[in-house]
């Protein structure tokens, strides 16, 4: 392992990562930002497939969220996340559970959360990454989309919100699996690398037991020129 401590450029928060493993990317940052408006000082939030805890850490840095919990399968990655919690002195409101979300019924979290977030493995076919940690992070080898959706609905309160970032080419699968477990898609935003390119990410909000109505929001474009972020991306990453 080659650990390093990175500055999140937000309220002095830092994160421990392993450069030989899977470091967080823009998808995690966008997911955390997408969920922010639904978080307040009474919110109990759960992050599935939490990795090194980047999503709950960013939300903790930017909100007064009451309680934040991350579930991560891989013991060494969960250990890094737990140490990041201590590094930022957030033990009072944030914890990391090392466990398998497929065993969600054994964790005592049923119908307890206002918000659930997830940046899950995207790929269910194709080439696999060489190292196990990257394979587990990117491919559905240890949990499927259906497993993620079930864990979300099981832990959410009625009318609780589920936020996920995924790939647009899985949208049909996503809507199918969400509705199977009574999570109704309510809000969707496609993310484009450039204005004239195809979308490569989708941000989604679903409500447990929600009524049928989906709002497709304006596109989010990442770059206005090579290596130059758009103003909206700059504002999302803005130092605070």
pLDDT at 19: 80
**Tokens at 234, concatenated:** 């700059």
On the 0-12 / 13-18 / 19+ scale of CB atoms within 10 A, 5 is exposed
Per-residue pLDDT band for 121 (boundaries 50, 70, 90) equals confident
Q: What 3-state class would DSSP assign to 139?
A: strand
62-71, 124-133, 175-184, 230-239: least confidently modelled range: 124-133
Res. 126: pLDDT tops 80: no
pLDDT at 99: 96
Distance of CA 204 to the CA centre of its chain: 11
Q: What is the rounded distance in angstroms from the CA atom of residue 121 to the CA atom of residue 193?
A: 20
Average pLDDT over all residues of the chain: 91
Question: What are the counts of helices (DSSP H) followed by strands (DSSP E) for the chain?
Answer: 7, 13
Average pLDDT over residues 152-180: 97
pLDDT at 32: 97
Res. 136: pLDDT tops 90: no
Give the residue, 23 or 4, on which the prediction is more confident. 4
12-21, 111-120, 177-186, 206-215: least confidently modelled range: 12-21
Res. 69: pLDDT tops 60: yes
Q: What is the rounded distance in angstroms from the CA atom of residue 78 to the CA atom of residue 76?
A: 5
pLDDT at 123: 55
Q: What is the rounded distance in angstroms from the CA atom of residue 104 to the CA atom of residue 157?
A: 15
Q: What is the pLDDT of residues 9-20, one digit of tens each?
A: 899 999 999 887
pLDDT at 140: 47
Asked if residues 149 and 177 have their Cβ atoms less than 8 Å apart, the reply is yes
Asked if residues 56 and 70 have their Cβ atoms less than 8 Å apart, the reply is yes
Average pLDDT over residues 182-199: 97
Asked if residues 84 and 54 have their Cβ atoms less than 8 Å apart, the reply is no
Res. 131: pLDDT tops 90: no
Average pLDDT over residues 137-162: 86
């Amino acid at each position: 392992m080659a650990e390093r401590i990175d500055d999140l450029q937000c309220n002095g928060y830092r994160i421990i990562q392993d450069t030989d493993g899977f470091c967080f990317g823009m998808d995690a940052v966008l997911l955390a930002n997408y969920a922010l408006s639904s978080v307040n000082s009474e919110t109990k939030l759960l992050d599935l497939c939490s990795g090194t805890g980047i999503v709950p850490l960013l939300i903790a840095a930017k909100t007064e969220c009451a309680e934040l919990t991350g579930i991560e399968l891989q013991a060494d990655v969960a250990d890094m996340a737990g140490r990041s919690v201590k590094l930022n002195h957030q033990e009072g409101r944030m914890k990391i559970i090392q466990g398998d979300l497929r065993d969600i019924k054994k964790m005592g979290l049923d119908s307890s959360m206002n918000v659930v977030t997830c940046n899950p493995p995207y790929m269910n076919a194709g080439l696999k990454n060489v190292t196990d940690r990257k394979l587990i992070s990117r491919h559905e080898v240890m949990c499927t989309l259906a497993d993620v959706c079930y864990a979300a609905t099981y832990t959410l309160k009625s009318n609780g919100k589920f936020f996920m970032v995924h790939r647009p080419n899985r949208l049909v699968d996503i809507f199918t699996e969400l509705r199977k477990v009574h999570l109704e898609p309510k809000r969707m935003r496609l993310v484009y690398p450039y204005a004239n390119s195809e979308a490569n990410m989708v941000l989604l909000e679903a409500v447990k037991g929600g009524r049928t109505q989906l709002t497709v929001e304006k596109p989010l474009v990442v770059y206005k020129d090579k290596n130059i972020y758009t103003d909206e991306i700059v504002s999302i990453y803005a130092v605070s």
